[in-house]
Amino acid sequence: MKKNNWKGWLYLLPAILFLGVFMVYPLVDVFIYSFEEGYNSSSQTFWGTGWYNYLYVLHDPYFIQALKNTFILVLITVPLSTLLALLISLGLSSIKKLRNMFQTIYFLPYVTNTLAVGLVFMILFQTTEYTDGMFNFVLSLFGIAPIDFIEGPYWAKMFVLCFYTVWVVLPFKILILTSALASVNKNYYNAALVDGTRPFRVFRKITLPMISPTVFYLIITGFIGAFKAYSDAVALFGTNLNVAEMNTIVGYIYDMLYGDGGGYPSYASAAAIILFVIVLTITCINLLISKKHVHY
C-alpha cells in the first residue's frame, strides 16, 4: 500500500455512497427480509427467523406457475431471438441497396412507445365482438379456426408472450450484431476467398468465431433480461397475471409486495433471492461454456 491511498478512496466516495445506499443496502436488506418469518410491515416486527419464507414461496402454486412461465419464456425467446437477429444481421450486411432503410425498420420497435406496441399487438391478437384479430384472420386463410390468444388456452397465450418478447428484444440484438459483423476485418474474407473457402464455411469458421464475444454477450444479457421479464406480460394480459396463468417471477415478487393480496415483503424477498440464485447459476454456466467457445 502506498501513501496517499486515501485520495483514491476519496475519488471513489460518491460512487461508493450511492451504490451503497441504493444498491448494496437494499440487496442486504432483501436478504435479511427473506429470513424474517411473519414480518409485519406496519409494525415492523417479526416472530422468528428461518427458511419458512422460502418453503412458503416454493410451495405456492402461483410461484410454481410463474417459475414455469419464466423458464419457458427464457428457453424459447433467448435462442430464438439471438438466432433470428443473427440471420437478419447477416442478411443486412450482405445487401447494399436499401440497407439503411431496412436497418431503420428493424430498429423501430426499439424506439416505439410501449403503448403503441401494445395497441399493435391488440390488433394482431385481441378477439373482440367485431374481429378475431389480424393473426386469426391470417390463420383463417389456411382454414384454421380462430384461437383466443389473450384469454384462451395456455399455449396460445404463451405463444403471444414469446412472440412479443422476441419482437421487442430483436432490434437491440440486430443493432449489436450488425456492428459486430461490420467490424470484422475485410481482409479475412479476402484471404478466405483466395483460399477458395465456401460461404457456409466462411460463416462457420471465420465470421462466427470473430463475432463470438458479441454473440455470447447477447446470450448472457438475453438470459438475464428474460428472467426479469414482467412488463411484457402486463402489457399483453393486464395486471392480474395470476388469474391469466401468465405470471413471471418478477411479477410474483411485485404481486407479493403491492398486488391485491400484497404486503408480504418477506415472501417477495425470498422469491427475489431465488430468482437471483437462478440467474447467477445460469450466468455462471454461460460463462463456463463461453470460455470454451469464445475466442480471444
Tell the smallest beta-carbon distance from residue 296 to another protein (Å). 7
Closest CA to 255 of 230, 278, 290: 230
- Residue selected from 23, 131, 205, 289 as contacting another protein according to rule CB under 8 A: 205
Q: Residues 61, 62, 63, 66: is their CA dihedral positive or negative?
A: positive
Q: Please tell me the distance from the alpha carbon of residue 31 to that of residue 266, in angstroms, as a whole number.
A: 9
* Residues 22-61 contacting another protein, CB under 8 A: none
* Residues 229-268 contacting another protein, CB under 8 A: none
| Stretch of 100-108, 161-169, 181-189, 218-226 contacting another protein, by CB under 8 A | 181-189
For position 194 contacting another protein by CB under 8 A, the verdict is yes
Cβ neighbours of residue 97 under 8 Å, at least 6 residues apart?
none
- Cβ proximity to another protein, 212 vs 290, nearer residue: 212
Give 244's DSSP letter. H
- Residue selected from 139, 175, 210, 257 as contacting another protein according to rule CB under 8 A: 210
For position 289 contacting another protein by CB under 8 A, the verdict is no
- Cβ proximity to another protein, 145 vs 194, nearer residue: 194
Total count of residues recorded for the chain: 296
Tell the smallest beta-carbon distance from residue 202 to another protein (Å). 10
For position 113 contacting another protein by CB under 8 A, the verdict is no
For position 204 contacting another protein by CB under 8 A, the verdict is no
| Stretch of 80-88, 153-161, 203-211, 230-238 contacting another protein, by CB under 8 A | 203-211
- Residue selected from 142, 187, 291, 292 as contacting another protein according to rule CB under 8 A: 187
The residues facing 49 across adjacent strands are: 36
Q: Please tell me the distance from the alpha carbon of residue 2 to that of residue 105, in angstroms, as a whole number.
A: 55
Joined together, the cell numbers standing for residue 240 give 392480474
- Is residue 37 within 8 A of residue 266, CB to CB? The reply is yes
Which alpha helices (DSSP H) does 22-111 contain, by range?
Answer: 25-33, 52-59, 61-94, 99-111
Phi, psi for 262 (deg, rounded to 5): -70, -165
- Residue selected from 196, 261, 288, 292 as contacting another protein according to rule CB under 8 A: 196
For position 190 contacting another protein by CB under 8 A, the verdict is yes
- Cβ proximity to another protein, 7 vs 295, nearer residue: 295
For position 185 contacting another protein by CB under 8 A, the verdict is yes
Angle separating helix axes 154-182 and 114-125, nearest 10 degrees: 130
- Cβ proximity to another protein, 40 vs 290, nearer residue: 290
Q: Please tell me the distance from the alpha carbon of residue 101 to that of residue 105, in angstroms, as a whole number.
A: 6
Tell the smallest beta-carbon distance from residue 98 to another protein (Å). 18
| Stretch of 110-118, 140-148, 160-168, 191-199 contacting another protein, by CB under 8 A | 191-199
- Is residue 58 within 8 A of residue 143, CB to CB? The reply is no
| Stretch of 33-41, 98-106, 186-194, 246-254 contacting another protein, by CB under 8 A | 186-194
Looking only at the bridges linking them, the beta strands covering 36-37 and 48-49 are: antiparallel
User: Contact positions toward another protein, by CB under 8 A?
Assistant: 185, 187-188, 190-191, 193-198, 201, 205-206, 209-210, 212, 295-296
